[in-house]
Amino acid sequence: MDASTIIIAVLGGLLAGIINTLAGNGSAITLSIFTELMGLPGNMANGTNRVGVLFQSAASSAGFIKNDRYSNLSNSKIHIITAVIGAVIGVYVAMSISNDQFKLIFKYLLLVMLLVILVNPKRWLIKTSENAIHNPWLSIPAFWALGFYGGFIQMGMGVIFLVITVLIMKYNLIDANALKTFIVTVYSVLVVALFHMNGLIDWKLGLIIASGQSVGGYFTADLASRYPDAEIWAYRVLVVVIIIAIFSAFDIF
């Protein structure tokens, strides 16, 4: 691997870490690097990508912890456990079938999510409600599905996570991102272990991108936790990320 490839991989990881911490879908960048630049087959790229996801989520969580963004974590224990169970099941499915069908569903789901996000933007700029009552018949299946999707392919999971935690759980965007990074860190430990046991991780390539992702994740989380208007910028990044993802998914331009 030449120096230019390593530089592109690290910078791509850095950008993915920033995007994942504020919105999601950074895996679209890292998966493209693994498959198009480094030539990894689909399942190997999917497994290797989880190394960066784990390190970046842990680094982002450290940035949020530094600024005390986990005050409501105790209210989400059941959702964390549910998401982890879903992720483990998703990994086993990912190792046995193709990602193509899920990608087909996901690109149309992006259109729905963009519509949901653009309608009444004020819903996305609320303060976290500590007294919000969560309907378990809605929130628990939703978090199981989030975990399953994250375990299966990860790409786009962060965007879907924010839709659920902001609109259903009544978290603001920054607190929702903090919860997202914590949950992804927890289930990624198991996901990485499972992919590794099945020989689907190239640790050298994974750690190269993970170095950039970790730096991007930590400093973005730290800044977002302290910046007064972080919710507004996170909303803008979320909209831009979804629009770019739609262009990519439908081969526009």
The structure's pTM equals 0.86
Both tokens assigned to 198: 């099945």
Structure confidence by residue, pLDDT tens digits, 101-149: 666 766 787 788 788 888 888 877 777 766 666 677 888 899 999 999 8
Task: Tell me the mean pLDDT in the region 197-220.
Answer: 95
Mean pLDDT for the stretch of residues 178-191: 92
pLDDT value of residue 67: 83
The per-residue pLDDT for range 13-32, each reduced to its tens digit, is 999 999 999 988 888 889 88
Q: Indicate whether 197 pLDDT > 90.
A: yes
Band (pLDDT 50/70/90 cuts) for residue 43 is: confident
pLDDT of residue 63: 92
Query: What is the per-residue pLDDT for 121?
Result: 80
Range of the domain at 226: 3-249
Question: What pLDDT, on the 0 to 100 scale, is given for residue 25?
Answer: 83
Higher-scoring residue by pLDDT: 134, 167: 167
- Domain count across the chain: 1
